[in-house]
Structure 1
């Protein structure tokens, strides 16, 4: 059975407070992205030691180093690419400090014509995959609208082509819907299922203005009841991390995460699913 996790910066940039809230949720697994308005890869040694101490003192497990590797990187800019390789190097250095095997990566800033950049995308991913293989970590690839690979169909195509055991998928159904995939579950999920090593959850719908809006789990268009049941039935034993994104009007990220975690719990309970 899978375990629940929470992305700390979806609660607060105040790292200690975020950990206290997550412990209040009854969750003991976290994902490290931003704290104190810095990404984990940008922390200095003193700050990193503080994070490690707080994580250990509170008894949390770290499931993923949520770096920004290749998120905002133009695919045809060699200098930017080299800077992002340094981000990956830092991620790989940090991961073992937290007994973590997963390092997040993306697929470069979205281009208008993916086919025209497909070969370049594959070429640019060769070095990161070799680095992961050499270091014994896994690149956890997240599908997201702002990058070149956003849907389950696009993600499956990439995984089939890369074909490395050290590159696997962070399946994000909310991001897939946001990227134009009408049914992330079951359609996208069935395509990416062989490569899923981690899962992010957030909910989304078209609002009255016709724009995509983030919502608490269970309040949007993603079939999370079906998705969670499928994960359980298929024997997924990784982490399902709440990556909220939703913020209530005039509210805070913490309020949004509290609402979304309640929706997550309710959806799981309706399916009779009890995470580890």
Structure 2
């Protein structure tokens, strides 16, 4: 049975509104990225404990830490960034999740990718080694502008670093925005490594985010593929409808609810239950 979660900070910076909307949509988890306009890794210990208490009192859990680890330039200082990774380990353990979202470093525009491959692998291997020591799983999210923006380069990272503590967070919308035309082919390329799904759909003609099933991401086919694999992991709503500019007459709360209901509609179509 697949599990629903989401980036609740797309609803509101207010924690209690995030919780209320998720509960209204029968979503029992959040992918914790920010609250009170502060990134999760920047929250103080007391603030983290307040979030934890509020989630627990509402019977909600954290599916993953939506950290910005790896979302810096490949030429930026890495040693300081490793301190943020240590903070991510602490936060993950505090909230009882084994997953931390990460990226594969922003490359300078126009540079040959091969010029930076060795440094990308060096950095990610160091992060993975620490994840192995901490018994935490780093989830590599594909995103445009990063080394891992295409299925082949994500596969390159996963194969080169070769660890059970590094898995793929598969984002079909991000692949489309990176010029990958077939999310289904991308899925099959990365299938052995996929342990988490970001639910984002995009229309190819303008690159804008739309509710799941309304774009060119072949979401229903991807869900069918997951169903055939008996996938029982997370489907994390990251709809970005607020940022697409296509729904100016809707509030963030309404857009998150629209995104949630669109995903549930696809799951009903393939006769898949969820929690």
**CA displacement at 1:250 relative to structure 2:** 4.2
Cα separation, 1, equivalents of 2:23 and 2:124: 37
SS, match of residue 31 in structure 1: strand
Structure 2 unaligned spans of 5+: none
Cα separation, 1, equivalents of 2:252 and 2:153: 30
Cα separation, 2, equivalents of 1:200 and 1:94: 21
4+ residue segments displaced more than 6 Å: none
Query: Structure 1 residue aligned with 2:197, among 199, 209, 212?
Result: 199
Query: What residue number does 2:122 align with?
Result: 123
**CA displacement at 1:180 relative to structure 2:** 1.0
Query: Structure 1 residue aligned with 2:230, among 235, 238, 247?
Result: 235
SS, match of residue 273 in structure 1: coil
Q: How many residue pairs get matched?
A: 269
Contact 1:159 1:168 in 2 (8 A): yes
SS, match of residue 13 in structure 2: coil
Contact 1:152 1:184 in 2 (8 A): no
Query: What residue number does 2:269 align with?
Result: 270
Residues 132-187 of structure 1: per-residue CA shift (max 9 Å, x gap) = 011111111111113221222221221111101111111111111111110112x0
Query: What residue number does 2:58 align with?
Result: 58
Query: What residue number does 1:107 align with?
Result: 104
5 Å matches for 1:1-276?
A: 1-71=1-71, 73-77=72-76, 79=77, 81-111=78-108, 112=110, 113-185=112-184, 187-207=185-205, 211-247=206-242, 248-276=247-275
Contact 2:176 2:204 in 1 (8 A): no
Cα separation, 2, equivalents of 1:110 and 1:263: 34
Contact 1:216 1:244 in 2 (8 A): yes
Structure 1 unaligned spans of 5+: none
Cα separation, 1, equivalents of 2:274 and 2:68: 28
Cα separation, 1, equivalents of 2:257 and 2:233: 22
Cα separation, 2, equivalents of 1:117 and 1:212: 27
Cα separation, 2, equivalents of 1:6 and 1:76: 31
Cα separation, 2, equivalents of 1:8 and 1:49: 18
Contact 2:176 2:207 in 1 (8 A): no
Residues 42-75 of structure 1: per-residue CA shift (max 9 Å, x gap) = 001121111000111111121101110111x111
Cα separation, 2, equivalents of 1:194 and 1:238: 14
Q: What is the TM-score of this pair, normalised by structure 1? A: 0.94
Cα separation, 1, equivalents of 2:251 and 2:103: 27
**CA displacement at 1:249 relative to structure 2:** 1.8
